[in-house]
Structure 1
């Protein structure tokens, strides 16, 4: 099986312990190896974490640097890697797919907010874009279609469902209604007919609970990188105070 076929199949099979597919978000080769060595069957890069590791705010990393980072991550592990490439960086579908495959990605995350303006794209426009990506990629990429209506403050699930149905018809493999209330996950998946990706956040339901509520796939956004960065800051404070390891 190709890496994309493996990743696609994982969306429809129980994860570890019967829970959802849990995809940690590596930001560099070292973190990718750590997650793969821990037994996770696939990984999903977060744009926020990768951008931060490159010295940029979320949404500001140049496309070339993002693809290069994805390539380093994919090269470091033997499991499928899905890449968060935001809204596609304005690239034509053929170029976008080519650069993803060249980087070694088995899937991609594509959001329906315009990276430049922050505004939601027209649903039909985004569906056409996803359909063109699918036509260029064939089965070589697992397309996770992010729906940003909840992120923009619209608590009504109807717009997310309408967009999701268009994206499913365009060939998306998975729906990512980012920041959707967990209680809506099952209904969204049933209405759209796709596996649902849920975002696990500190203080919120964990992966197993999100799976019980209807998530087939769980990702973490930039949360894991933020946790690692906090650990680095703690270590820096210890060093600045003249302490190291077990030193008093």
Structure 2
């Protein structure tokens, strides 16, 4: 594929602001799935955004993980240009068959203007859903090297996918997160952990590096509770996209099955949306 088109903004102030957010406290990193949802979240006053591979895939009629590198880069560039906020890229496994290919893809992602990007260790193979540790570490190290070569202050997130791929082994996840930190990850992430004990164990294991917590459903914790556990940032993955899909699906099924229109009761005002995007 060709080079990513030149940016129309200077990404460095956003990248500096994004790194500063990780220094203390706890912030929410909501996940828009398109330009419109990104602009709405910016208008609400959030300090940063993150892409969602699942949300954008569903908007294209595809399952999570099915978008090509080219499509992902185009989406990231559109998202980064949509608002003045820093954007963290959900960059899957790095879009490469080997570390050299991951490094090339990461270089292209940096060129979209994102302020951070994550590399996960899921393999896509149901028989062995996690990559071998040495292979996963090599991919994080390649991403780190690509960032360093670029001279850009892009934050690197290392992800241990155990709880997402049906291998809920907290001890092994922590071992991997520590290895990713040593390989150059700036922030660590084990999506799918949910209990206070799991969260506090991960935070303690990789300290002082910051931890991202995924909250994709209603949980018994407030943001203040999560901050007290030592988490630096909270993302919501595809939850906002799923919430939008849930409303559309309920309204559609009521219309089909019962001929009822009350599924539109909570619909946003068209006038308000037009005003938002004017």
Q: Shorter-chain-normalised TM-score: which range?
A: 0.7 to 0.9
Larger Rg computed on CA atoms: 2
Q: Is the 8 A contact 1:113 1:120 kept in 2?
A: yes
Task: Call closer, same or farther: CA 1:104–1:235 in 2, change over 3 Å.
Answer: farther
Task: Call closer, same or farther: CA 1:39–1:94 in 2, change over 3 Å.
Answer: same
Could you tell me which residue of structure 1 aligns to residue 199 of structure 2? 185
Q: Is the 8 A contact 1:47 1:85 kept in 2?
A: yes
- Return the offset for 1:98: 2.2
Indicate whether 1:36 and 2:42 are aligned.
Answer: yes
Could you tell me which residue of structure 1 aligns to residue 136 of structure 2? 126
Could you tell me which residue of structure 2 aligns to residue 197 of structure 1? 212
Task: Call closer, same or farther: CA 1:33–1:128 in 2, change over 3 Å.
Answer: same
**SS at structure 2 position matched to 1:82:** strand
Q: Is the 8 A contact 1:51 1:66 kept in 2?
A: no
Q: Residue deviations 1:40-87, cap 9 Å, x none?
A: 110011111111111111111222112211111111110000110110
- 2:27 pairs with one of 21, 27, 30: 21
Task: Call closer, same or farther: CA 1:229–1:135 in 2, change over 3 Å.
Answer: same
The separation in 2 between residues aligned to 1:104 and 1:239, in whole angstroms, is 42
Q: Is the 8 A contact 2:216 2:238 kept in 1?
A: no
Q: Where does structure 1 lack aligned partners over 5 or more consecutive residues? A: 15-19
The separation in 2 between residues aligned to 1:32 and 1:190, in whole angstroms, is 33
Structure 1 runs of 4+ off > 4 angstroms? 234-246
The separation in 2 between residues aligned to 1:153 and 1:237, in whole angstroms, is 31
- Return the offset for 1:36: 0.8
RMSD (CA atoms): 2.2
Could you tell me which residue of structure 2 aligns to residue 49 of structure 1? 55
The separation in 2 between residues aligned to 1:9 and 1:67, in whole angstroms, is 25
1:59-98 mapped onto 2 (5 Å cutoff): 59-90=65-96, 92-98=101-107
Q: Which moved more, 1:91-100 or 1:172-181?
A: 91-100
Q: Is the 8 A contact 1:175 1:196 kept in 2?
A: yes
Q: Is the 8 A contact 1:89 1:115 kept in 2?
A: no
The separation in 2 between residues aligned to 1:158 and 1:243, in whole angstroms, is 50
Q: Is the 8 A contact 2:104 2:146 kept in 1?
A: no
Could you tell me which residue of structure 2 aligns to residue 213 of structure 1? 229
Q: Is the 8 A contact 1:182 1:213 kept in 2?
A: no
Indicate whether 1:173 and 2:179 are aligned.
Answer: no
